[in-house]
Amino acid sequence: MASRDGLVLGIDLGGTDCKFGVVDSKGRVIRKARHRTQNENGPEQALALIAAHAREILGSDSMSGVGMGVPGPMSSREGIVFQAPNLQGWIDIPVREILETRLGIPVELHNDANAAAYGEYWAGAGRGACAMVLFTLGTGIGGGIIIDGELYTGPDDTAGELGHMIINFEGPPCGCGSHGCLEAYASATAIRRTVREAVASGQKTSIHIPKGREHNFGAKAVYDAAESGDKFAQDVLWRAGVALGIGAANIINIFNPDVIVYSGAMTHAGDYIFDSLRQVAHERSFKKPSLRVKITIAELGEDAGIIGAAGLALKKLQQGG
Ligand SMILES: [Zn+2]
Tell me the three state secondary structure of residue 80: strand
Distance 172 CA to ligand 1 centre (A): 10
Q: Which residues surround ligand 1, an ion (CB under 5 A)?
A: 164, 174, 176, 178, 181
CATH number of the domain to which 178 belongs: 3.30.420.40
Among 271, 276, 273, 249, CA closest to 260: 249
104 and 134 share one domain? no
Task: Establish if 237 belongs to a structural domain.
Answer: yes
Q: What are phi and psi of 284, to 5 degrees?
A: -105, 15
72 and 166 share one domain? no
217 or 45, greater pLDDT? 45
Tens of pLDDT, residues 198-255: 999 999 999 988 888 888 888 889 999 999 999 999 999 999 999 999 999 999 999 9
Distance 298 CA to ligand 1 centre (A): 23
Say what the pTM is.
0.93
165 and 256 share one domain? yes
Distance 171 CA to ligand 1 centre (A): 11
Task: Establish if 26 belongs to a structural domain.
Answer: yes
> How many Å apart are CA 21 and CA 154, to the nearest integer?
27
Task: Establish if 51 belongs to a structural domain.
Answer: yes
309 and 287 share one domain? no
Distance 277 CA to ligand 1 centre (A): 20
279 and 311 share one domain? no
175 and 265 share one domain? yes
Question: Which residues constitute the domain of residue 18?
Answer: 8-117+303-318
Task: Establish if 158 belongs to a structural domain.
Answer: yes
Write down the pLDDT at residue 86: 83
170 and 294 share one domain? yes
Task: Establish if 27 belongs to a structural domain.
Answer: yes
What rounded mean pLDDT belongs to the chain? 94
Distance 254 CA to ligand 1 centre (A): 19
Would you list the DSSP string of 212-227? T-TTT--THHHHHHHH
Write down the pLDDT at residue 3: 43
131 and 85 share one domain? no
Distance 39 CA to ligand 1 centre (A): 28
Domains contained in the chain, number: 2
Distance 32 CA to ligand 1 centre (A): 34
Distance 244 CA to ligand 1 centre (A): 14
> How many Å apart are CA 208 and CA 104, to the nearest integer?
52
